[in-house]
């Protein structure tokens, strides 16, 4: 009997030790060479010891050492930012459009252009990603949900005097996504899916000075989710979001690239490609104070003034007026920003190899909120 108890104890101890070792997070994680398109986002599944990278036309799955586990390829759209739900499901933004970005992707892939526009949340059954080059259309591991609200704004026109401009709010699609509690709710509350617009950076319009973020309850999304068929895009999705929020940041190039909720601070981190309007500070990083309840405001969209709900930016500079835009200048984050929930983040440093292939390394940083140095590298790069 004693031997049985001892064996059981040793088994449990070994299992616990192996699990603990599996979730030790290294100071850096390398993606490996990933072809022609740059990385769009990353996510870390600490419970199971996996890392996910989005490289525009593919999803890559590695272990914590960077060893390839599998990949999903064959996307002819734009696979963007990633987020992992509490049950380990991987979510990604996915765009199909006929603008310069969409045409550029198809040209690089050697495909004929088409006029299909559609914005989706892609939902991956991550446990089924077990080998390289699994096909997005053919494998039974991926469903998509149509984001009607974004397509409606993308397809709309806005009046500026006698002229009309395409794309309400300068919407170019969707990109940054994150799971987070409702604005103003306790951190332990139910999580919702936040979806940020991509936004064109035109200098001669003012309806692109706000980021647009949609909030969805995904509890009933199984009713909408359908297999991906890229030759015939479906339109199955919620009629509208639970909420539609606006955040004044000034102009950016293509909106929020990476959106990440941090349980340690209770904030949403938004990394962008900075804009170039001279009247704005043109930051690379904004932090949305999700502890504050949304405010009722009015904004101008061309000749129209509309009522909206706005979210508040975190202001670490006590000398800055509340009416001024708060943010940080920080080079990295737009291609990958992963909160570890304890004040640390993995941040993507992307680039090309000598033979021209795209790659990235996730480096571990600590959040400081300091004006000139918001993140500090934990370990020196090798």
The answer to whether residue 94 sits within a structural domain is yes
Domain count, the chain: 1
In a domain, 4, yes or no: no
- Give 189-231 as a DSSP string: SPEEEEEEEEE---TT-STTSEEEEEEE--TTGGGT-EE--TT
The reply to whether 143 falls in a domain is yes
pLDDT of residue 108: 57
Per-residue pLDDT, 115: 59
In a domain, 228, yes or no: yes
Specify the pTM.
0.90
Instruction: Find the domain containing 369 and state its range.
Output: 38-377
Q: Over the range 285-307, which residues count as b (16 or more CB within 10 Å of their CB) and which as e?
A: bbbbbbbeebeeeebebbeeeee
Q: What is the pLDDT of residue 231?
A: 86
- The pLDDT value recorded for residue 107 is 58
Whether 138 is covered by a domain: the verdict is yes
pLDDT digits (tens, 9 = 90+) for 169-180: 999 999 999 999
Q: Which of 151, 259, 160 is nearest to 208 (CA)?
A: 160
Which residues of the chain, if any, have pLDDT below 70?
Answer: 1-23, 99-115, 316-323, 380-382
368 within domain boundaries: yes
Residue that is written with structure tokens 């617009």 in the block:
197
φ, ψ dihedrals at 94, nearest 5°: -145, 125
pLDDT tens, position by position, 258-270: 999 999 999 999 9
We report the CATH number of the domain holding residue 342 as: 2.115.10
What pLDDT shows up at residue 319? 57
């Amino acid at each position: 009997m004693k031997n049985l108890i001892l064996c059981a104890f040793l088994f449990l101890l070994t299992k616990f030790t192996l699990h603990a070792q599996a979730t030790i997070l290294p100071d850096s994680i390398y993606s490996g060479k990933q072809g022609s398109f740059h990385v769009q986002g990353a996510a870390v599944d600490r419970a199971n010891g996996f890392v996910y990278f989005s490289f525009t036309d593919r999803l890559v799955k590695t272990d914590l050492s960077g060893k390839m586990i599998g990949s999903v390829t064959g996307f002819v759209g734009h696979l963007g930012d990633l987020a992992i739900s509490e049950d380990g499901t991987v979510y990604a933004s996915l765009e199909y459009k006929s603008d310069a970005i969409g045409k550029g992707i198809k040209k690089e892939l050697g495909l004929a252009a088409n006029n299909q526009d559609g914005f989706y949340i892609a939902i991956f059954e991550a446990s089924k990603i077990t080998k390289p080059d699994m096909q997005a259309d053919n494998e039974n591991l991926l469903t998509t949900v149509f984001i009607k609200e974004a397509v409606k704004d993308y397809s709309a026109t806005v009046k500026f005097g006698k002229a009309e401009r395409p794309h309400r709010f300068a919407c170019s699609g969707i990109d940054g996504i994150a799971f987070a509690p409702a604005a103003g709710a306790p951190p332990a509350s139910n999580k919702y899916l936040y979806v940020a617009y991509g936004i064109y950076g035109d200098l001669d319009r003012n309806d692109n000075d706000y980021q647009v973020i949609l909030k969805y309850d995904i509890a009933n999304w199984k009713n909408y989710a359908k297999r991906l068929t890229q030759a015939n895009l479906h339109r199955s999705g919620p009629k509208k979001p639970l909420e539609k929020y606006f955040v004044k940041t000034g102009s950016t190039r293509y909106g929020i690239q990476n959106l990440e909720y941090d349980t340690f601070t209770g904030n949403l981190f938004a990394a962008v490609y900075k804009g170039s309007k001279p009247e704005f500070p043109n930051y690379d990083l904004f932090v949305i104070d999700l502890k504050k309840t949304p405010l009722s405001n009015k904004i101008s969209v061309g000749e129209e003034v509309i009522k909206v709900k706005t979210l508040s930016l975190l202001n670490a500079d006590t000398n800055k007026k509340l009416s001024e835009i708060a943010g940080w200048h920080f080079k990295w984050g737009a291609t990958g920003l992963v909160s570890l929930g304890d004040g640390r983040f993995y941040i993507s440093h992307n680039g090309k190899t000598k033979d021209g292939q795209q790659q990235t390394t996730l480096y571990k940083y600590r959040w400081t909120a300091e004006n000139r140095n918001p993140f500090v590298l934990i370990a020196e790069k090798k």
